[in-house]
Amino acid sequence: MGIHVWVLRIPALLQQAKAGEKVTDTDGIDPRSNAVTSKESQSEAEKWELLQAEVARCRKCGGLCETRTQTVFGSGNKNADWMLIGEAPGQQEDLQGQPFVGAAGRLLTEMIRAIGLSRDDVYITNILKCRPPGNRDPKADEAANCRNYLNRQIELIQPKIFLAIGRIAAQTLLTTDEPLSKLRGKVHSLNDTPLVVVYHPAYLLRNLADKKKAWLDLQFAMQTYREITN
């Protein structure tokens, strides 16, 4: 009848991106352009799906996109008050496509329980969405390449509090080279939102004596959250 109904085929685009195919629209319109749908009129779900598809096909870091099994986007509650940001996927995360699923991930789950929450209550992601080979530290240019993805996740979630998981995440997010000992126990700010630094669970697995300090950090984070939400 001459009536055109525009349907965004985002799940299909995500599948294409995951399969490493060039993502195209059957109408030849770049799905990232505003031609069909302006950014404002995209639903939150569409924005998430497009962002995840963009990450899945990212090739900004020459080395990492060659060595990764897959990208690790993030997991959890997209309306969470708490956003937890780690450093980068490790081997298990690279294989499973989910953040913090190895031994350190199991301890992180316990740490989340210690603040009275479950993994489904918080959103977890990393500075880097690809595993650095051999779990080496992320390079500055890799963190910079990935930053826009993290910023867009933050913009969509609009958390009430950030937890920076470990030294690398804390130093990258706060653009500082201060040691973790100086960064913990303070309320920092990221995008006008409080940020608390906690020990990385992988570090705690190697340094059991610091578990008591880790518990204090989590209590401090809970107290900070209560103060901002009461």
**What is the binding site for ligand URA (CB under 6 A)?**
86-90, 93, 99-100, 104-105, 126, 165, 202
Q: How many residues does the chain have?
A: 230
The distance of closest approach from Cβ of residue 34 to ligand URA in the complex, given in angstroms and rounded to an integer, is: 33
The distance of closest approach from Cβ of residue 85 to ligand URA in the complex, given in angstroms and rounded to an integer, is: 9
Name which of 216, 200, 218 is nearest 107 in CA terms. Answer: 200
Q: CB-wise, 103 or 228, nearer to ligand URA?
A: 103
The distance of closest approach from Cβ of residue 163 to ligand URA in the complex, given in angstroms and rounded to an integer, is: 12
> ∠ at Cα 38 (36, 43), nearest 5°?
100
Q: CB-wise, 163 or 165, nearer to ligand URA?
A: 165
The distance of closest approach from Cβ of residue 155 to ligand URA in the complex, given in angstroms and rounded to an integer, is: 21
- CA 15, CA 174: separation in Å to the nearest integer? 35
- CA 82, CA 119: separation in Å to the nearest integer? 10
The distance of closest approach from Cβ of residue 93 to ligand URA in the complex, given in angstroms and rounded to an integer, is: 4
Residues 6 or more apart whose CB falls under 8 angstroms from that of 20 comprise 57
Q: CB-wise, 13 or 204, nearer to ligand URA?
A: 204
Q: Which residue is nearest to ligand URA (CB)?
A: 86
Q: How, if at all, do strands 123-126 and 75-76 pair?
A: antiparallel
Question: Tokens representing 81?
Answer: 């008050």
Q: CB-wise, 16 or 126, nearer to ligand URA?
A: 126
Q: CB-wise, 51 or 170, nearer to ligand URA?
A: 170
- CA 76, CA 59: separation in Å to the nearest integer? 25
The distance of closest approach from Cβ of residue 102 to ligand URA in the complex, given in angstroms and rounded to an integer, is: 6
The distance of closest approach from Cβ of residue 196 to ligand URA in the complex, given in angstroms and rounded to an integer, is: 16
Q: CB-wise, 42 or 96, nearer to ligand URA?
A: 96
The per-type count for the chain, helices as H runs and strands as E runs, is: 10, 6
- CA 115, CA 34: separation in Å to the nearest integer? 42
Q: How, if at all, do strands 161-165 and 193-198 pair?
A: parallel
Q: CB-wise, 7 or 140, nearer to ligand URA?
A: 140
Contact yes or no for 108/201 (Cβ under 8 A): yes
